[in-house]
Structure 1
Amino acid sequence: MPYLRLPLLTILFVASLSAQSWIKIDSVFSPFGVTAENFSAPEYCDLDGDGDLDLIVGSTGNRIEYFKNIGNKTSPTYRKDTTMFSFIYENGYQFTNASYPALVDLDNDNDYDLIIGGFTGLHLYWNLGDSTTVDWLRDSTFFNSVNAQIGSDAEPAFADLDGDGDQDLVCGIGESLLGGPTPGIFLAFRNVGNAASPLFSADNSLITGIPDVGLNAYPAFCDLDKDGDQDLVIGRDLQSLLVYKNNGTAAAPVWVSTNGLVSPVEVTTYWKNPVLADLDGDGDPDLTYGTSDGTIKYYRNIGTASSPTFQVYTAFFQMIRTDGNAANVSIADFDKDKDLDFISGDWLGGIQYFRNDGDSIHPNFIRTTSSFTSLDAGSYSTPVFVDIDKDGDQDIVSGELLGTLRLWINNNGTFSANTTMFAGIDCGYRSAPAFTDIDNDGDLDMLLGSEESAQLKFYKNNGANVFTPNDTLLAGIGGTYVAYPTFVDLDKDGDMDLAVGGGFGDLFYYENTGTPNAPVWSRNDARMYPVEVRQGAAAGFADFDGDGRADMIIGQYNGNFTFYKNAAPASVRQNSAAAPGDFRLLQNYPNPFNPSTTIQFTLGSAGQTTMTVHDLLGRTVAVLHNGTLSAG
């Protein structure tokens, strides 16, 4: 049996071509591996028993996400792992909406059980596995009596508040359109069972002195002063965090407001959902909280375990996204430095610039300002780069909420509005333009997306930038709610194909099976497999890694971007040689690599064999073997 030993590398082993055309690479827009979802609710727990804290994030996305810590307890780095909660969502989302995850050992069996709070109350999943391998079992009735009292937007927090060795429960009440208790209050439930068999009974004496904090209340417990009892940190909307120290005992809390204990914390963020955990392994609790736009704020404790001092650390949990919602993508080398930048609109009418400070094969995007970022493009702006006047620089055309188009001509970096070229063009609502020379006559034609399917329109350019509707060019193209069109030649046949994203996360692909002069559209959504977007898919295509294939960036309604590497074969060559029979690639060991790994494989027959290692961007890291191997 052949084997190969490799040094420590992050690799993608390619043994054969796959039907999968796209590889999602979160690190392009989330360097620490954590992606953002609106109204994020972080929680930390060592779910895999490797001695460091993993991250679990709830959101309004109808499911919680697990990010495995692939670093260590002093220097965490995260990678999304969908298998951790695959059982919970194997039959689809649970529709808990504003999901608040909490992990606590409710049955005293030395592993963590999972509680998810949201619009449908608290959901309990017992962990029947152990501290290294989870095995979830849903208990659909356990919290029935609690759910009848907490309403439709309650965040759970667990702590032993009466010193009896079991976990009590405090719920912060949020603002919900579905009704419930007064937003901003707290409801407490004493565990009148025991550590192995919990039973929760309403008892607000556990939180005597904790006030209504207004609209939304987000509780978190932690022993901030190292005196052996639990203190309470409260998140609020658009305000600082509140701290109530326990000046009583572990068995009889006395809550006293303590201003400034977790200061300074900014006061502009809507939705502060705090959690305290030791993220840098120095023995004291650090502070993080989720926000309405999904970014996670991190404050490192530079004090001690008994006297904390929190300092904001912006580099951690860095997420490259729009400031606001309704992201979209248009790609060009705006600054002419031989790599590709992009712009995005947003729901407030901005034009946001993401400059590539990497190079033509290693993208590194930085959101920054430019001469056009102060332009007002109208609500739900959809700007695109296009050289409309053929002077060699990028002009900007933008759609907007009311269905019209706005044009700015670039004159050596100064943008001037042109109100005549697209005057009279109006698609009703949510205009989104895309340009290409669809008839190969040397000028740019336009496909205009809109909110309503019936308003999708092609405009032919008569050669002098006069755009006339031409419905014949639409034959074979279906509409979708809030269409975001873009052109790309994915099949590399010399004509432009069409991708159309939609407001519900749809992404349709239309191959041009005609010619560069006369398009014929044939829908082929298999080209987009396995891309998945929850809401608002606005795609842009370009080759970011220099392999000759168009990669994809998708802007989403929540303001995030997702990068997909194009993993389709660049070309296909006929080869009459028979494929090797009974080829098997075995599990590498050790896994994970430490500091190297051994890869074993078997061949059913002797033959010419080439084995290569690639990184996640498809670049060749090493050629392991290129020659003849015997069977075995």
Structure 2
Amino acid sequence: MGSAQHISQLFRKKLTQWENHKLQVKSDIHSGKFYRFKSGKRQSLISKLHRLTRRLNKLQWQMQLAALGGTLVALTPFDKVQAQELGPFIKKSRLENPLRTPLSGYAMKPTAIDLDNDGDYDIVSGNSDFLQVFKNVGDNTTPIFEDIGSLSDNYNYTPASLPHYKPAFADVDGDGDMDLAVATYNSGIIYYRNDGSSYTQLTGPSNPFNSISISTFPSISFIDYDGDTDFDLLVADTYSGGGRLQYFRNDGSSTFTPTAIPLPDISDGYFRRPVPIISDIDEDGFPDLTIGTRDDNIRFFEDTGGGFVEDVNPWNSANKTGNPFYGIDLNRDVSPEFVDLDGDGDLDLIAGYVQFFFQNVEAVAYFENKGDAVFERKVFLDNPFGGAATGADGVPYFVDVDEDGTLDALLGGKYGNTLTYYKNVGGVFQQELGPSSPFYNILAGLSYFTSAKPVYVDIDNDGDLDLILGDYNGNITFFLSDDDVLSKQVMDASNPFFDLGPPRNKDVYSGLYYSVHIVGNSNTAIDLVDIDNDGDLDLFSGNHEGTVDFYRNTGTATSPHFEKPLDPTENPLDKSHIPEFDNNFFDYSDTQPKFIDLDHDGDADLILGGHYYVNDSFYGDAIFYFENVGTPEAASFEMQTPALLPYTYRNPNPGLIDMDGDGDLDIFVGDDYGIFEFYLNENPAAVTTINTSVIEYQFNTGPVTVDATLTVADSDDDDIVSATVTIQNFQPGNEALSFTAQAPVTGDFDASTGVLTLTGSASVDIYQTILRTVAYSYTGPDPGARKGKTNRVKSLARSIVFRAFDSDLTSPVSATRSLNIIGTAVNQPPSLNSITLSTVIQGSASIDLAPLISDSEGNFDPTADGAITIIAQPQSGAVASISGSVLTVNYSGLSFSGNESLQIRACDLAGGCTDVIVNVSVIGEVVVYNGISPNGDEFNQFFNIENIEILGPENKVSIFNRWGDRIFEMDNYNNDDRRFEGLSDGGKELPSGVYFYKIEFTNGLPELQGYLTLKR
């Protein structure tokens, strides 16, 4: 990986290319031009977009990894006053390990039984010299097993020496619980009666199996073969160089008698060490016989009704013929057991066996029954007995292989598990096998390749990751990535590693060499880092001498070439610089180097796994930390004590990743056994405490200190390496944070994001002092008043979040203080709606305005001078006046009638004014509408005499027919409840016709007469 600056520059360049290409493709699609291209060109454009996207993701990951490399703070030298400690790193159990170790055991003889009566199967197995218990801590559909030790340690029974013998459980005495029997060569069948809370060994005549004679390598199983609801006994052993089967019938009283049944003859040598199981594997209703043997196969005998007949052909699941276990190769001493482990209703197969050399990746093999007796082997993490083991020489390397933003696991190993890839899916590692793995078959054809120590970096700075493998034999092999496809590179002059030594690993097909051998080196663990800050990657290699070799990149960032310096002192890890390498502290052990900037000073520090030796009473294996006390251009390393991880297995190889997502780095350690121990960084986080009261920040008052009494604490006294203060709901350009600096901490406020970042390793007290000075200021527009709500002023709500990160970068306990930006109070003028008055010709109208005027601040006084004024008189010449709060409009002496207006102004004590129009209606004459049609159509339903109720309310209206007879008369006619609706005084409906009306007034208005037409 190149320098952070170079990666950032390359990222910006690729980002520009991606944006331009994406815009062009989008434009072509919208315009329709894209669909006029030939299919090949369309595919090429889309492929280029995908390729640029992948490279951007890779570069983004590399930038994140570069940042991650700066997230640990180093152990300071032990003789300094304030020693900083990483961690503590706590070794987690198998069940808590995401790359869990496999259960251990040799030549296991497993038997399934629900020991704890929790509804799922546990496993009891013969092991080296005791019965081992694998407790199911999962459930009956998703089992996961934990080694809880021997049966005697967990259940009360008297143990015997039981090396590699298969236990058998059955209710032998018919009391409802499961008893235990174990067949042994020297002691016959040992029987333990289950007494409910303990097991009691019964001997002599009390042992129902006392009279049964057995030979070497015996195995027994219980089966109700005769269907009488009690358990009979099937015994197998090795006799006269071959196998032997015997059947003993239970007569119902726990007396077992040898009985002849049509068992197959297994006396030839291929059936040595037989382990028989009777079960209906093919689900045809008849019991089948399965026998595990010393050789690598599982023999299958089908009950044809007349005896057990062996079928040696491949399994046909449709016809259910053949051997379901055809092709299964488990080396030797196979001990099968059938049990429905996944709760799907069919029998799965588990089997103990003797593993191949350096292939101890599982204590028990597991084959899931996929239906119709089709068995699929589950390996590594998919096997509840297995784990992420490589058999030997485990090397953990974490990198985002699939470009999804999470780190996957690339595990190096030895022999059959040289390179395995586990995809990180939501924090769970899932192995990618076969062609789905980008590393599938990449070692094919190499004549001598027994291990792999991977490094996956962009060695040529082209935006994708290349693979470099060290190995157990001192070789380095280079795989170049071209558009995410890895290809091994011929070891010639064009190979950047060509000058490191003679070529190795000839391809059996082409005759070309693909590896280089570092002379005098073996077990080559490598890492690449820009140790001299010249923009390209240099090479370091651990070796078997207990030191670390150095090869400088004499090429460029894009065309690397590695050479060993002629002057050994150019190696910053040379013996002349590192006393521990010179005095054989690492005891000529294999060294495993990893580089990362732990102390945040801009240069690469060293984490080294190795075996150390001081004297015969002080030695072991550990992970060590070497601080780079030099500069990025001139590295100088000093080993710190105590060790980072002081107690590990042989040849530890570290890999770092934030596995639990808490911000700090956890450590996986591979070892000689090919397993990966997991150490969780349980560093206590830094805690910031703040005043929780809300700050009322008045607009235009300048900066305000967020909390001058804020506290920062770290329970294990780590230094603080950075802190952030964030304005939530930030408005760029309107808000800012400021602080008072104090060496060695520096800070910068990002005006685009609202985040103040402080950096620099310093004590808790220094950071606390600085954070107490953080001040907030707002320079944006006045939030203003919120209208319509008394004494409410509009405000802006903000939250200021403080986070302090200690030397492990563990996600801290943050503290938040709320802040309200209060706008300047703006006086709101009085409120007054439009007003309408009415009067008659030469009359007057008055209204009290005080009840009609409201003021949200309550500062309107209608009696104050100038509170209500007239700013525009009526146009007719009428006189409007204000007396107190009463408005009067006087039309005396004027002949005006009709509608007009005037304007008034209401002002509060703060000078806020509101202007309002007052509309006036002056009524001048009585208007008679001489038509009526009371037919229910809602029009002209009554005799309408407009304004009569205003101008002449004291009146008398009379109506006459054509003969002069008065038919209707009413005093005080008002067009409302006193009116003519076509009915006579007697309530009779009058016919259509012409009528005569007379209207008389008592107030001096002249009498009105005329004709009225009534039409129905």
Tell me, yes or no, whether TM beats 0.5: yes
Seq. identity, %: 17
Q: 1:374 deviation in Å?
A: 1.7
Deviation at 1:150, TM superposition (A): 1.3
> Cα 1:382–1:87, aligned 2, differ >3 Å: closer, same or farther?
same
Separation in 2, partners of 1:538, 1:139: 51
What secondary structure does 2:624 align onto?
strand
Note the 1:471-510 alignment, pairs <5 A.
Answer: 471-472=575-576, 473=578, 474=581, 478-479=585-586, 483=590, 485-487=592-594, 495-500=605-610, 507-510=621-624
Question: How many angstroms does 1:396 deviate by?
Answer: 3.1
Q: Which residue of 1 aligns with 2:276?
A: 219
User: Displacement of 1:542 after TM fit?
Assistant: 1.9
Between 1:390-399 and 1:471-480, the stretch displaced more is 471-480
Contact 1:349 1:377 in 2 (8 A): no
Return the letter of the residue paired with 2:467.
I
1:209 — aligned with what? 265
Aligned to 2:629: 515
- The CA deviation at 1:47 is 0.5
* 116-125 or 333-342, which deviates more: 116-125
Residue 420 of structure 1 pairs with residue 498 of structure 2: yes
CA distance in 2, matches of 1:421, 1:145: 75
Distance 1:448 1:315, change over 3 A: closer
Match of 2:526 in 1: 434
> Structure 1 63/499 Cα, relative in aligned 2: closer, same or farther at 3 Å?
farther
Alpha-carbon distance in 2 for matches of 1:428, 1:121: 55
Q: Structure 1 residues 397 and 279 mapped into 2: Cα distance closer, same or farther (>3 Å)? A: closer
* Correspondence for 1:384: 454
Higher relative CO (Cα under 8 Å, sequence separation at least 6) belongs to: 1
Match of 2:547 in 1: 457
Residue equivalent to 2:540: 446
Matched, 1:270 2:385: no
Q: Which one has the bigger helix percentage?
A: 2
How far off is 1:21 after superposition? 0.9
What displacement does 1:456 show? 3.0
2: CA distance between counterparts of 1:114 and 1:526? 48
The answer to whether the 8 Å contact 2:594/2:654 transfers is no
Shift of 1:189: 8.7
Deviations 1:202-253 (A, max 9, x none): 99999562343356633223366999996521135454531253958xxxxx
Match of 1:405 in 2: 476
RMSD: 5.6
Partners of 2:128 and 2:285 in 1: CA distance: 35
Residues 548 and 591 in structure 2, CA contact (< 8 A), matched pair in contact too: no
Give 1:45 shift: 0.6
In the alignment, is the contact (CA less than 8 A) between 1:275 and 1:287 conserved in 2? yes
Taking the aligned partners of 1:410 and 1:370, their CA distance within structure 2 comes to 10
Letter in 1 for 2:549: Y
Where 1:520 maps in the other structure, the secondary structure is strand
Q: Contact 2:143 / 2:341 at 8 angstroms: preserved in 1?
A: no
Deviations 1:179-212, CA, capped at 9 Å, x for gaps: x973x624659699997799xx999999562343
Per-residue deviation at 1:80? 1.9
Does the aligned pair in 1 maintain the 2:171–2:231 contact within 8 Å?
no
**Corresponding residue of 1:298:** 367
Alpha-carbon offset, residue 273 of structure 1: 3.4
Query: Partner of 1:586 in structure 2?
Result: none
Answer yes or no: is the 8 Å Cα contact 2:188–2:214 preserved in 1. no
CA shift digits 1:463-514 (9 cap, x unpaired): 5332356334425775479746243769867733323389xxx852223367
- Matched with 2:425 is 358
Runs of 5+ consecutive residues of structure 2 not aligned to the other structure: 1-85, 316-320, 356-360, 503-516, 555-561, 569-573, 613-619, 688-711, 716-809, 812-1016
Aligned residues: 522
2:663 aligned partner: 548
1:343 pairs with 410, 414, 420, which one?
410
| Secondary structure in structure 1 of the residue aligned to 2:374 | strand
Instruction: Spell out the pairing of 1:36-75 with structure 2 (5 A cutoff).
Output: 41-56=109-124, 64-68=132-136, 70-72=138-140, 75=141
Distance 1:119 1:540, change over 3 A: farther
**What's the offset of the Cα at 1:66?**
0.9
Q: Cα gap change, 1:428/1:146 in structure 2, threshold over 3 Å: closer, same or farther?
A: farther
| Amino acid aligned to 1:460 | F
Q: Cα distance 1:566–1:510, how it changes in 2: closer, same or farther (>3 A)? A: same
Q: Helix, strand or coil for the counterpart of 1:241?
A: strand
In structure 1, the residue matched to 2:50 is none
1:435 Cα deviation from its structure 2 partner: 1.9
The one-letter code of the counterpart of 1:432 is T
Residue 21 of structure 1 aligns to a residue whose secondary structure is strand
Give the Cα separation in 2 of the matches to 1:402 and 1:118.
45
**Letter of the aligned partner of 1:243 in structure 2?**
F
Letter of the structure 1 residue corresponding to residue 275 of structure 2: Y
User: Is 1:467 aligned with 2:571?
Assistant: no
Q: 2:645 aligns with which of 527, 536, 541?
A: 527
Q: TM-score, normalised by structure 1?
A: 0.62
Aligned AA for 2:466? D
Look up the equivalent residue of 2:119 and give its one-letter code.
G
Aligned AA (1:264): P
Say if 2:455 and 2:527, in contact at 8 Å, map to a contact too.
no
Alignment correspondent of 1:569: 683
Q: 1:53 and 1:36 mapped to 2: Cα distance?
A: 19
Structure 2 match to 1:590: none
Q: Deviations over 1:138-167 (max 9, x none)?
A: 99999999999415xx55544477989666
Indicate the residue corresponding to 1:596 in structure 2.
none
Distance 1:279 1:568, change over 3 A: closer
Given that 2:88 and 2:683 are in contact with CA atoms closer than 8 Å, whether structure 1 keeps it comes out as no
Aligned to 1:595: none
Structure ID, larger Rg: 2
Which residue is equivalent to 1:241? 299
State the partner residue of 1:318.
Answer: 382
Moved more, 566-575 or 541-550: 566-575
Using the alignment, how far apart are the partners of 2:170 and 2:460 within structure 1? 62
Summarize deviations over 1:574-631 as a string: whole Å, max 9, x none: 8599xxxxxxxxxxxxxxxxxxxxxxxxxxxxxxxxxxxxxxxxx99xxxxxxxxxxx
Q: Which residue of structure 2 lines up, in the alignment, with residue 251 of structure 1?
A: none
Distance change (3 Å), C-alpha of 1:287 and 1:431: closer
Residue identity in the other structure for 1:406: T
Gaps of 5+ in 1: 1-16, 174-179, 249-253, 303-308, 578-618, 621-632
1:366-421 superposed Cα distances (whole Å, 9 cap, x missing partner): 34432674223833312311548452544333333433333334455443243514
Q: TM-score, normalised by structure 2?
A: 0.42
Paired residues of 2:89 and 2:680 also in contact (CA < 8 A): no
- Cα separation, 2, equivalents of 1:63 and 1:300: 27
